[in-house]
Amino acid sequence: MTRAEVEAIALALPAAQKVIQWGGAEVYKVGGKVFAICGLRGGLSFKVTEIGFMVLTDEGGPGRQAPYLAKGQWVIVDLEDAGAEEARGWIATSHDLIAAKLTRKARVELGL
């Protein structure tokens, strides 16, 4: 998986925006809230459900706890270990989880 592929997947989601932060990381946001980070420590970071966190970070899983974000159930997966279809699902789920936390007014304004 490449950073360009991650960008294409993330920006195809409704109301998604990209900013460069934290020393060159590509940060994808919806409604001003981060839903994916690409480039920190060579990986793709994203929010998951509680079950997803256990599955992805369990022994033998493709991911590990994202530094500084694990408390919020964020996972980091090395880009080289991420397949396009898997990443598409992870990023879309993260987008949905973050968008759901926005106010109703914000969701309406963003067309979500």
**Per-position DSSP letters for 21-78, written without gaps between them:** ETTTEEEEEETTEEEEEESGGGEEEEE--HHHHHHHHSTT-SEEEPTTTGGGTEEEEE
Distance CA 83, CA 1 (A): 6
Per-residue tens of pLDDT for the chain, all 112 residues = 889 999 999 999 999 999 998 888 999 999 999 999 998 777 999 999 999 999 999 877 788 998 888 788 999 999 888 888 999 999 999 999 999 999 999 999 998 8
Distance CA 86, CA 84 (A): 6
0.85 exceeded by pTM: yes
For 3-110, which CATH class? alpha beta
Domain boundaries, the chain: 3-110
